Amino acid sequence: MLRERLEQMLAANPQELHTIFDGAMPADLADALASLTDDELLALIPNISPAMLATVVQEFDEAQAVRLLNLISTDQAVQLITEMSADDAVDMLQWLTDDLRTRIVQALPADSPLHELLEYAEESSGAIMTTEFLTVRPEWNVDKALKVIRAGAEQAETIYYTYVVDRRGRLVGVLSLRELVLAQATALVSSIMRTNVIKVTDDENQEQVAAIFRRYDLMALPVVDEHGVLKGIVTSDDILDVVDEEATEDIQLMAAMQPSDTPYLHTSVFKLAKQRFGWLLILMISATFTGQIMRHFEDFLAQLVYLTVFIPMLMDTGGNAGSQSSTLIIRGLALGEIQSKDWWKIVRKELLVSALVGFGLATVNFGRVLLVERYPANVALVVSLTLAVTVMLAKIVGSCLPILAQLVNIDPAIMAGPLITTIVDALVLLAYFSIAGAILGL
């Protein structure tokens, strides 16, 4: 609908396009703009001010941004990028090919804060912060502070926190707009500011920044360099993106994929295949160890082919039991609810849980194999005992590996289902053949 209105206005009265932009939300306009043809887009751009266009374009996703910036001139790109929020501008520049990015960055004004922001490592607080913040000085009074805020409000990302810096730009305090509005006009900023400011350094990982937002229910967090100089702020809407991104990354790693934050429908077939091939290959080759175990027991199996019938059920149940534990631990570590020093509490808990679950399942299984599938009792016993042992082994392995990974600074999410399954498979078969050998006397 918005798209149709844009098209009509573009055809009939392009200089009035801004009236549509005025009344609609940037995210909705972004969708409408993305669905226009190249020619329509090019016709629209000169009729909208760069500032107005920037509020919409900064909502674009990777594919949409890349298309637009390849379409317009370098001059237009520079105008647009300069008007955008610094954090969105940095994201967008990083999506471009090196060639196009270099061309635009070289054309940016020398004093643009983007030059510095682009230096920060991906996923650092410096890379997600924005530089549009307001500062006041501790020696000012409230009246002067409010005047400065009024004057700068249009440009700032948030005016709900005002940061107090000394003459060297070092962060010394913070004031909420609420506190300023409620204070006496003559009070000194230094007398009403809070001095225990929660802040992060500019090289902090974004996951850690999200943890601080979670813990302290913040709306904005100041970012300082190693000298304590205020460099930028991270706002809560950026953190929502970080939290989504980190959960997506973990979920993808847990399903044995190289993580990627490009939306599925905008990712090429080749990139999707590449993202999945590596882990599948590693896991396929690991699974051949399981094959080696079976090969070792081939003569044994030849005598008792009916035992193979239970192998899929045992392997699947083991894999699932292990995934349950590893998933809980991985998520707990990611949210900071579990620390690696808790490992002993976790192992003890998993032993108890797995004993309950394992023997519960084994009991049901014993009845089923004996009464429904009508195997002899000793076979039912072998399968059910193996099942109980499997569940216990799987849960111990599943809970310990993510903690071990954390201790040696590997992302615990790698130790999820697929890897656990491969390890548990081998353990299951060894347990199965040992128990069968002992009970069936082979």
Positions 264 through 303 that interact with a second copy (CB under 8 A): 264-265, 269-270, 272-273, 276-277, 279-281, 283-285, 287-288, 290-291, 294-295, 298, 301-302
Q: How far apart are CA 71 and CA 154, in angstroms?
A: 29
Reduced to 3 states, what is the DSSP secondary structure of residue 42? helix
By the rule CB under 8 A, 248 interacts with a second copy: yes
Which residues in the 84-103 window bind a second copy by CB under 8 A?
none
Span near a second copy by CB under 8 A; candidates 4-12, 20-28, 89-97, 109-117: 20-28
- Choosing from 32, 321, 385, 436, the residue that interacts with a second copy (CB under 8 A) is 321
DSSP state of 121: P
C-alpha to C-alpha distances, 141 to 136, 166, 310, nearest whole angstrom:
10, 14, 79
Contact 32, 2 (CB under 8 A): yes
Q: Contact between 417 and a second copy (CB under 8 A)?
A: yes
Q: CB neighbours of 343 closer than 8 A, spacing ≥ 6?
A: 400, 403
Of the residues 27, 377, 404, 438, which one makes contact with a second copy according to CB under 8 A: 27
Q: How far is the CB of 124 from a second copy (least distance, A)?
A: 20
What's the Cα-to-Cα distance from 377 to each of 305, 310, 385, rounded to whole Å? 17, 15, 12
Q: By CB under 8 A, what part of segment 330-389 binds a second copy? A: 331-332, 335, 337-338, 342, 345-346, 349, 352-353, 356-357, 360-361, 364-365, 368, 373, 387
Candidates 233, 315, 415, 431; binder of a second copy (CB under 8 A) is 315
Residue type, 42: L
- End-to-end Cα, the chain, rounded Å: 75
Q: Which of 35, 201, 320, 340 binds a second copy (CB under 8 A)?
A: 320
Site for a second copy in 203-222 (CB under 8 A): 213-219
* Contact range with a second copy by CB under 8 A, out of 93-101, 111-119, 178-186, 201-209: 178-186
Give the one residue of 108, 256, 380, 427 binding a second copy; rule: CB under 8 A: 256
Alpha helix segments (H runs only) across 368-416: 377-407
Distance CA 164, CA 172 (A): 6
User: Does the footprint of a second copy cover residue 409 (CB under 8 A)?
Assistant: no
Total of residues contacting a second copy (CB under 8 A):
112
Which part of the chain contacts a second copy (CB under 8 A), choosing from 6-14, 65-73, 111-119, 244-252? 244-252
Q: Which of 76, 275 has the CB closer to a second copy?
A: 275
In terms of Cα–Cα distance, which of 187, 213, 193, 245 is closest to 62?
Answer: 245
Is 406 a binding residue for a second copy by CB under 8 A? The answer is no
Judged by CB under 8 A, which of 67, 160, 191, 410 binds a second copy? 160
* Sheet with 161-165, side-by-side order of all strands: 135-136, 161-165, 171-176
Comparing C-alpha atoms, which of 365, 363, 361 is closest to residue 309?
365
